[in-house]
Amino acid sequence: MPESLFSEVVPEPAEEVFTTLLEKPGLKIERIASHGHVSPAGFWYDQEQEEWVLLVQGEAVLQVDGQPDLRLKAGDHLRIPAHLRHRVASVSDDALWLAVHF
Amino acid sequence: MPESLFSEVVPEPAEEVFTTLLEKPGLKIERIASHGHVSPAGFWYDQEQEEWVLLVQGEAVLQVDGQPDLRLKAGDHLRIPAHLRHRVASVSDDALWLAVHF
| Whole-number Å distance between alpha carbons of A89 and B9 | 30
Helix (H) or strand (E) holding B28: strand B27-33
**Is A10 or A72 the better-scoring residue by pLDDT?**
A72
CA–CA dist B31, B24 (Å, integer): 15
pTM: 0.88
State whether B2 and A72 contact (CB < 8 Å).
Answer: yes
Question: What is the C-alpha to C-alpha distance for residues B4 and A70, in angstroms, rounded to an integer?
Answer: 13
Which pLDDT score is estimated for B29?
Answer: 97
A66 touches chain B (CB under 8 A): no
A29 touches chain B (CB under 8 A): yes
Q: φ, ψ for residue B31 (rounded to 5)?
A: -100, 130
Question: B3 vs A78: CB contact, 8 Å cut-off?
Answer: yes
Residue A9 has pLDDT above 80, yes or no: no
- What is the residue-level pLDDT of chain B in tens, covering all 102 positions? 778 888 865 656 778 889 999 999 999 999 999 888 888 889 999 999 999 999 999 999 999 998 999 999 999 999 999 999 999 999 999 999 999 999
Q: What is the pLDDT of residues A47-71, one digit of tens each?
A: 999 999 999 999 999 999 989 999 9
Chain B hits for A82, CB-CB cut-off 8 Å, are none
ipTM of the modeled complex: 0.84
Residue A100, Ramachandran bin (φ over 0: left; ψ between -120 and 50: alpha; else beta): beta
State residue A63 phi and psi, 5-degree precision.
-100, 130
Type of residue found at B101: H
Residue of B57, B53, B47, B44 whose CA lies nearest to B79? B53
Closest among A93, A87, A40, A4 to B55, alpha carbons compared: A4
Mutate to test the interface with B, among A6, A28, A76, A88 (most CBs of B within 10 A): A76
Query: What CA–CA distance (Å, rounded) separates B22 from B99?
Result: 11
For B63, the closest chain A residue by CA position comes to: A1
Interchain CB contact of A43 with B (< 8 Å): no
Q: Rounded CA gap, B88 and B29, in Å?
A: 19
